[in-house]
Structure 1
Amino acid sequence: MKIKLFITICAVAFGLSAQAKDYKYETVPGDMMKTRIYTLDNGLKVYLSVNAEKPRIQTYIAVRTGSKNDPAETTGLAHYLEHLMFKGTKQFGTNNAAAEAPLLAEIEQRYEAYRKLTDPQARKQAYHEIDSVSQLAAKYFIPNEYDKLMAAIGADGTNAYTSNDVTCYTEDIPSNEIENWAKIQADRFQNMVIRGFHTELEAVYEEYNISLTKDSRKLFAAISKMLYPNHPYGLQTTLGSQEHLKNPSITNIKNYFNKWYRPNNVAICMAGDFDPDKTIAIIDKYFSGWKPGADVRQPVFPALPALTQPKDTTVVGPEAEQIWIGWRAKKANELQADTLQLMEDVLSNGRAGLFDLNLNQTMKVQRASAGSQLMHDHGGFILFGTPKQGQSLDEVKNLMFAQIDKLKKGEFPDNLLPSIVNNKKRNYYQRLEYNEARADMFVDAFIDEIDWKDEVNYLDRISKITKQQLVDFANRFFTDGYVTIYKRQGVDSTQKKIDKPAITPIPANRDQMSQFVKDIQNSQVEPIHPKFVDFKKDMATLKTKKQLPLYYIKNQDNGLFELVFYYDFGKSADNRYDIASDYIDYLGTDKLSAAELKQKFYELACDWNVSVSGETMSVSLYGLSENMSQALALMENLIQNAKVDKEAYDNMVNLILKRRGDSKKRQESVFNALYNYGTYGPRNAMRDVMSEQQLKETNPEVFIDLLKGLNGLKHRVAYYGPMSEKEIVSVIDKNHKTTKKLADVPQNKPYLREIANKNEVMIAPYDAKNIYMRQYHNEGRSWNPEEAAVLDVFNEYFGGGMNGIVFQEMREARGLAYNAYARYYIPANKDRKESFMTHIITQNDKMVDCVNHFHEILNEMPASETAFQIAKDAVTKRLASERTTKSSIFYSYLTSERLGLDISTNELVYKNLDKVQLKDIVKFEKETMANKPCRYIILGDEKQLDMKFLENLGPIKRLTVEEVFGY
């Protein structure tokens, strides 16, 4: 579900660049992003928005095609092509394109024959032959050269995503590398070569395996099938079917690429620090030769059958029960989208909507929300409900429908619509601070074919929608033509076990490098000089009248503020604060009810929260600066005068207990609990919670007293906003009343990582087709700041991105996993200990291979000067172009303070980077990781695992789900 949010602007103008060639561009007067939209001669769209806060640029290359356009016989193709786009071209990813080409052609033809075979033995033999030819082709393959290129230019966030209508490729690059970036991307999008096919296919299949335990995917597929029964939205999923993933067609992928990956079907979206005139000239230089497609019009599908009466279906899975209810809507670029998104916030804005106040605030359900689903061809509006303990899904449905009836009758406050518009403005200002949010807006507009002037006029339009118009729309929209999906807990009998294929590992060839990569590495660009935060200059340290330390950072960009009251103690000192932070959300005062308070904060476009971590705690207020004084007074009054509500407390306890039970059903949350147990032992942050008995026996006034007492404890204040130093001190002195003498905070009893210096296995049960597994080692080694640079380069080299040893060996060479990495951790506090961890999610019958190969690369880490230099360059360029700004200055200060530093950790690393050599990280790895005993932490089904193998690793400790959670 994506919600588009844009500012009020109007009209279209045209301007000319100052380059030798004139580039016409479209603008919208008043656009706060000052967006320029170019269309090159070949149809390529380019969206540019300048944000000079730091010398980096978020780039998205969006292709207007997704799983909707998959051939029916090879679903999942768009997503699989997304993966193959990282494999290179004739210029990179290979050491001999001419010699490689006939072998790749043979692999393609063999797959076409393989996918038509039905006899198991014939398929097995055919796959063996594919594997054999793949070994020959692999001699010419240089895996992950794309990631080497991105590392060489200092890129971050290398990734891609695919959904129904879009395939989008993302990079965050330094601002001095635009030309290199464009050169690489132009080659990639015009000359993609499919190689490394069978190992990448296994990685995609592992991604599919991971999805099997995520019931939200099943719900989304089911509701799409019912809303769009004869459209690809409902007929096929983005990941594709199990059968199709095991019977791919390289030929179909090539045909798909040649049809849709054309400049007149693509948009380059960029936001960051650049000169737009120079940037468009560079893009034209490298992309102008890309030939447009003859026909990139989106296919037209048959009209959807009318929905005139309720329909329902049921899906099953391991997670907690839910109910989804959906109505069909028009497509994203219809004006109906405005009303849908406004209606969404009337029902469910997170604070003051009908669902928020009448269902969630009153705890009539575990959770309820609503959202619009806006896509290129069609849209939808969906209600999401989770039952509380003992409640049926139909009861949740009826409660949500009762709120729909209120909407249809206009039974909501008259000031709700203006408040929604005010909050959308605030959210828009917040989004403008992030390059990725700006670029994401461009992607949505391009993919859904929305005129930019319509996007920027969004808030102006919805501000003119009256309450009566919205009520009339709701009465027309919410008909009996809806669909209901009941998500029940149970075993999904449709899931099938797939045996691992016989894949011969391909060589990593990490010492090889194409001339293309060498040229990029050796290119001369104007250097970006690092600029690290100076805590004395970039943040003023003041005192309030009561002598509270106040860290002041000026916001000179917009009218937003953030105010934080920070305490040096947390859950480890007293786990009751965790409950108190939840409880106060349901309370009011003698003068205002809980619902009225929610509405007041929403009217002010301000939010507040109490955040409790293991060793720290904060009370934060943020929003529009013009309303800060009122919001602060409101927050302080609630904390000091909250009215105890026993019924609300009892209801909240029931929700907490239900939420705890639901967590035990989710694979990811069970593994998080197991990993916490495996690294911290029985006393860890996840287990250190009030028991059911303690919750039920505690007088709720205790929690209110705890929060009231915060103003009497020693704390610090941080402010980021547009007020002057004098103004903010005055506001705090007026509204934040403290005792004359502040008491010491409660003493933390830190959760400490356990020493793990012998081989042992910890396993907890979860019935799934895959396992989550980590190897953890901790020998009590103290952190040495002088090693900081070595550590950073090591993590990049060994366990980082696609160019790291772990990714190359576990995924690229062997197809053992979709998700695999490793990391050496420094402690959060200078007196704590270091540790390291490997991570993988893999198919059950691949566990032994994963363990054995992790042992190989840990005990004898592959050493490559080529790979090392790329890793070092990546760290160097990333740090040189990073900037610590806004409220991040305060949090960076706290991080450094805990480590006993007076400079940032980034500066600590950077000043020693030039001294780091390959021999240093090889020596470090041998001393800290090679041949070290490990604690193997595994979540899986013993019946599907090789337990004898695990017994040979070390003694096995079996844990129940109740033990790992502590309840």
Structure 2
Amino acid sequence: AVYEEKNRGLDSPGRRAYEAFLKALFPKHGYGRPTLGEIEHLKSPAYQDMEAFFARYYTPGNMAILLAGDVDASVLPLLEQEFGQFKRPAGDANDNGPLPPIAGRTQVEVQVPSNEGVMLGWHLVSATAKDRAALELMDLLLLDGKSGILARELLITQKVANAGSGPTFMRESGYFNLYADALDGQSHGDLEKLLLGLVGKLQRGEFTDSDLATAILIAELNKQQQLESNEGRMQMLEEAFLVGEDWATVVDRIAQFKKVTRDDIVRVAKQYLTNNFVVVKKVKGTATPPKITKPGITAVKLDPSRRGAFAKSILDMPVSPIEAVSLKVGADYERSTLPTGDLVTVKNTRNGLFSITYQFDHGRTDERLVCLALEVLQVSGAGKRSPEQVARHLHELGLTVDTSCAKSYSYITISGIDRNLEAGMTLLREWLADPALDETIVKARVAAALTERANAIKSPQTISGAQAAYARFGPDSDYLVVATNKELQAATPAQLKASINKFLHRKHRTAYFGPRSQTEASAVIALGDGKVPTKARVATKFRKPNALFVTDQETAQTHVWAIWPRKSANDVDRAAGTLFGEYIQPILYQEVREARGLAYTVFGGFSAGGKKLDDASVFVYTGTQGDKTHDAVDAILSTLRQGVDESRLAQAKEAIGQSHRVERIAPRAIATTVFQWQDEGEKADPRAARTQRTLAFDKAALDKWMKGALGAPVIVSIVGDKKKLDDVKLKKLAPITVVPVTKLFGY
């Protein structure tokens, strides 16, 4: 598994660049060494050292017990009684190495197939240092997600393809990362100059007290949203433990921010963002990392029924089953209609934040330039307001407007502080009715889009995704149903304005989450008049199976998908597919990855499609070392063809039942989930009935279903080094078609 993960890293230009970045920042410290080790380490692994490291650090006394959920302080005495006697290991931890300061400007170059750019890095303080609060706010002044100095100077003005910043605080040190990706023809020197210009603005104090207050407001909103979910709370607890930060300090973070002054920001910018920094230049070229050959591995015979005494004692403990909870209309959410279409509202009882998503069944299939129009909207003004003024106004209101667009849908989302909802809706309607955009804005956005496309067709990850979509859907692939480069270049401001304006007239669905009642929200959140009806959505259908597609890429890892298309799923098919997925997933993982070491990633399951009439499918994926591809595929197929094991089926059913009992849909996600159920043909929460049908399947019924599903013709997608593939073996799966990268994209 470690060898396979290392291969994945070698195929990822982003990971290679970031490893080089950390190595330049911390050349003699553990922070600069990759977690997986260097290739030389993997060629001759010191197994005894690994055992010693595990014995020294992976101990009960070196761990934290973190709880987030339906618990309170009453559990603490029990935890103290049961676990308080564990002690940390004796002796000092290993020395992680020295942290010498960076001397001057230190440059490193990394070869990448696309996405040229620069990363600048400076040393910062550790997580518990007193300057941390000022440094975090310094970063939020630059970019708090959607706005800030960086957004106004580089992103909204479209001076770069992409840019961002972020501090990282650790136990012994920290660092600041400021980066930008190049537009076509833009030099690395130009990018570095633009980024250092932002640093200069911070050091000269070219921001207002209002900017600082807004940065604190955004930090407070982000924290409130993070605290809404168990996952968010757990993330805060985990980070505090890992970096050695006192929990009281974490809880008090916003109060600390409110004590930071403008002078504090200027001081830390001058003190830490000095002329001693690292520059990583991502330069177009072919990377030739040392080859890493995975050693032969003796297959391990697995016995999933085997349990140690300790595991058995835990699993045999009597417990009261958690009761499943279904969502109920009228209690957990409300259904209604607006003139524009269906409305689902969910009351936020935790804080004063809201989120509204407008879902339009209108995408590139219907209008090739609609996604470009929404991208241009994000960098346009509104009425007499410039793009920078719109961004600043939203920022000061504590509001965010996001758009997303794909082949068959478009979304507009507005979120933030409820007290500013009316002001936000007024601005959004003005923005859609009168977007202030001209030839310069459009040409700049098109230039950025062309750069993104040029990078995409050289990105191994993007190519893999595009080929898998082509194998499934042929000309209906998301990567092919797009405007061509010529169509983008021919787009006019008038065309894009007209496209944006129509969002005020299209029928759509509205998902509201916030502190207002359904009646109160309905009076404010309607977007447009809904006079333009929605076209009937065409069901998603797979191409005709019995086909194998190969795209040649000289990567260390090969990506393989096998898809068995099925007709749209009825209740019985969905139940069988759900049981199959839960049953087969751990078996594939154990047999292919753990027992044989043939893949880093392997998974399989069943997909019912997003909408009721969409095709369903059974699928398997593996990411494996190129020369192990056929062994991995053989292991997967032999695993799939095994008869259903009664004990493993019982384990799968227990897991499904347990998942159903403990699943809780976060309030913020309820409205969109209700619409998803509606798309699937369900009028109410279907989880209880679906679980019941799934658990009713027996061994004979699942066996029959699997044989029928896996005995059907297959679609296979393979992206990797073709020299390591054997056509004779591939032809046994399906007829081969070699697909060049250029055929995967509709540019």
Fold equivalence (TM over 0.5): yes
Residues in 2 aligned to 1:861 and 1:645: alpha-carbon distance in whole angstroms = 63
The residue aligned with 2:428 is 635
Whether the 8 Å CA contact 1:324–1:382 is kept in 2: the answer is yes
1:919 aligns with 2:710: no
Residues in 2 aligned to 1:307 and 1:538: alpha-carbon distance in whole angstroms = 55
Letter of the 1:529 counterpart: E
The residue aligned with 2:560 is 773
**Segment of structure 1 superposing worse, 950-959 or 349-358:** 950-959
Residues in 2 aligned to 1:879 and 1:424: alpha-carbon distance in whole angstroms = 35
1:853 aligns with 2:639: no
The residue aligned with 2:323 is 529
TM superposition shift of 1:264? 4.2
TM superposition shift of 1:493? 2.8
2:524 corresponds, among 731, 747, 752, to: 731
The residue aligned with 1:299 is 95
**Segment of structure 1 superposing worse, 382-391 or 563-572:** 563-572
2:345 corresponds, among 526, 546, 552, to: 552
Whether the 8 Å CA contact 2:644–2:702 is kept in 1: the answer is no
Cα pair distance change 1:949/1:726, threshold 3 Å: closer
Residues in 2 aligned to 1:502 and 1:955: alpha-carbon distance in whole angstroms = 31
1:820 corresponds, among 602, 619, 635, to: 602
Residues in 2 aligned to 1:511 and 1:446: alpha-carbon distance in whole angstroms = 35
SS in structure 2 opposite 1:418? helix
1:561 aligns with 2:354: yes
The residue aligned with 1:886 is 667
Letter of the 1:253 counterpart: M
Residues in 2 aligned to 1:825 and 1:300: alpha-carbon distance in whole angstroms = 46
Which ranges in structure 2 are unaligned for 5 or more consecutive residues? Answer: none
The residue aligned with 1:91 is none
Cα pair distance change 1:440/1:764, threshold 3 Å: same
Cα pair distance change 1:726/1:494, threshold 3 Å: closer
Cα pair distance change 1:281/1:749, threshold 3 Å: same
TM superposition shift of 1:532? 1.1
1:743 aligns with 2:563: no
TM superposition shift of 1:521? 4.5
**Segment of structure 1 superposing worse, 390-399 or 457-466:** 457-466
The residue aligned with 1:388 is 183
Residues in 1 aligned to 2:311 and 2:270: alpha-carbon distance in whole angstroms = 60
SS in structure 2 opposite 1:268? coil
TM superposition shift of 1:880? 1.2
1:284 corresponds, among 81, 84, 88, to: 81
The CA RMSD over aligned residues, in Å, is 2.2
Residues in 2 aligned to 1:323 and 1:272: alpha-carbon distance in whole angstroms = 42
Residues in 2 aligned to 1:288 and 1:864: alpha-carbon distance in whole angstroms = 42
Residues in 2 aligned to 1:453 and 1:831: alpha-carbon distance in whole angstroms = 52
Residues in 2 aligned to 1:712 and 1:291: alpha-carbon distance in whole angstroms = 66
The residue aligned with 2:217 is 422
**How is 1:462-481 mapped onto 2 (pairs within 5 angstroms)?**
462-481=257-276
TM superposition shift of 1:283? 6.3
Residues in 1 aligned to 2:403 and 2:24: alpha-carbon distance in whole angstroms = 41
TM superposition shift of 1:293? 1.5
For 1:131-164, what per-residue CA distance to the aligned partner results, in whole angstroms no more than 9, with x for missing partners?
xxxxxxxxxxxxxxxxxxxxxxxxxxxxxxxxxx
For 1:916-953, what per-residue CA distance to the aligned partner results, in whole angstroms no more than 9, with x for missing partners?
22222222111111x33322211112223323432444
The residue aligned with 1:844 is 626
For 1:567-595, what per-residue CA distance to the aligned partner results, in whole angstroms no more than 9, with x for missing partners?
23333322322111101011102321111
For 1:863-907, what per-residue CA distance to the aligned partner results, in whole angstroms no more than 9, with x for missing partners?
222211111111101111212342422222222222222233422
Whether the 8 Å CA contact 2:61–2:88 is kept in 1: the answer is yes
TM superposition shift of 1:328? 1.3
Whether the 8 Å CA contact 1:605–1:624 is kept in 2: the answer is yes
The residue aligned with 1:215 is 13
For 1:645-688, what per-residue CA distance to the aligned partner results, in whole angstroms no more than 9, with x for missing partners?
11110011011011011112221111100000000112222211
TM superposition shift of 1:209? 0.6
Question: When the two structures are superposed, what TM-score results if normalisation uses the length of structure 2?
Answer: 0.95
TM superposition shift of 1:319? 4.0
**How is 1:316-715 mapped onto 2 (pairs within 5 angstroms)?**
316-498=111-293, 500-514=294-308, 517=311, 519-535=313-329, 537-544=331-338, 546=339, 548-715=341-508
Residues in 1 aligned to 2:487 and 2:34: alpha-carbon distance in whole angstroms = 46
SS in structure 2 opposite 1:226? helix
TM superposition shift of 1:730? 2.4
2:28 corresponds, among 220, 230, 250, to: 230
2:650 corresponds, among 862, 869, 873, to: 869
Residues in 2 aligned to 1:578 and 1:965: alpha-carbon distance in whole angstroms = 16
Letter of the 1:530 counterpart: A
2:54 corresponds, among 239, 254, 257, to: 257
Whether the 8 Å CA contact 2:142–2:165 is kept in 1: the answer is yes
TM superposition shift of 1:403? 1.8
Cα pair distance change 1:538/1:295, threshold 3 Å: same
The residue aligned with 1:943 is 723
Letter of the 2:628 counterpart: K
Residues in 1 aligned to 2:510 and 2:21: alpha-carbon distance in whole angstroms = 47
Cα pair distance change 1:765/1:269, threshold 3 Å: same
Residues in 1 aligned to 2:253 and 2:84: alpha-carbon distance in whole angstroms = 33
Residues in 1 aligned to 2:731 and 2:572: alpha-carbon distance in whole angstroms = 39
TM superposition shift of 1:515? 5.5
TM superposition shift of 1:518? 5.0
For 1:819-859, what per-residue CA distance to the aligned partner results, in whole angstroms no more than 9, with x for missing partners?
0011121122222222121100111111111222222122x
Whether the 8 Å CA contact 1:532–1:884 is kept in 2: the answer is no
Whether the 8 Å CA contact 2:383–2:430 is kept in 1: the answer is no
Residues in 2 aligned to 1:344 and 1:947: alpha-carbon distance in whole angstroms = 53
The residue aligned with 1:21 is none
Residues in 2 aligned to 1:374 and 1:772: alpha-carbon distance in whole angstroms = 35
The residue aligned with 2:2 is 204
SS in structure 1 opposite 2:11? coil
2:71 corresponds, among 267, 271, 274, to: 274
TM superposition shift of 1:631? 1.0
TM superposition shift of 1:634? 1.0
Residues in 1 aligned to 2:306 and 2:89: alpha-carbon distance in whole angstroms = 35
Question: When the two structures are superposed, what TM-score results if normalisation uses the length of structure 1?
Answer: 0.74
Residues in 2 aligned to 1:475 and 1:629: alpha-carbon distance in whole angstroms = 40
Cα pair distance change 1:842/1:467, threshold 3 Å: same
TM superposition shift of 1:232? 1.9
Whether the 8 Å CA contact 1:588–1:594 is kept in 2: the answer is yes
SS in structure 2 opposite 1:494? coil
For 1:507-548, what per-residue CA distance to the aligned partner results, in whole angstroms no more than 9, with x for missing partners?
22235455655554443211222121123543223345x475
Letter of the 2:216 counterpart: V
Cα pair distance change 1:224/1:540, threshold 3 Å: closer
For 1:610-629, what per-residue CA distance to the aligned partner results, in whole angstroms no more than 9, with x for missing partners?
22244333322111111111
Residues in 2 aligned to 1:932 and 1:296: alpha-carbon distance in whole angstroms = 60
Cα pair distance change 1:264/1:501, threshold 3 Å: closer
The residue aligned with 1:798 is 584
Cα pair distance change 1:933/1:786, threshold 3 Å: closer
Cα pair distance change 1:520/1:265, threshold 3 Å: closer
Cα pair distance change 1:894/1:674, threshold 3 Å: same
Which ranges in structure 1 are unaligned for 5 or more consecutive residues? Answer: 1-202
Residues in 2 aligned to 1:957 and 1:877: alpha-carbon distance in whole angstroms = 44
Residues in 2 aligned to 1:821 and 1:732: alpha-carbon distance in whole angstroms = 42
1:963 corresponds, among 730, 733, 743, to: 743
TM superposition shift of 1:782? 3.5
Residues in 2 aligned to 1:681 and 1:458: alpha-carbon distance in whole angstroms = 51
Whether the 8 Å CA contact 1:587–1:594 is kept in 2: the answer is yes
Whether the 8 Å CA contact 1:606–1:623 is kept in 2: the answer is yes
Whether the 8 Å CA contact 1:346–1:354 is kept in 2: the answer is yes
Letter of the 2:584 counterpart: F
Residues in 1 aligned to 2:72 and 2:382: alpha-carbon distance in whole angstroms = 54
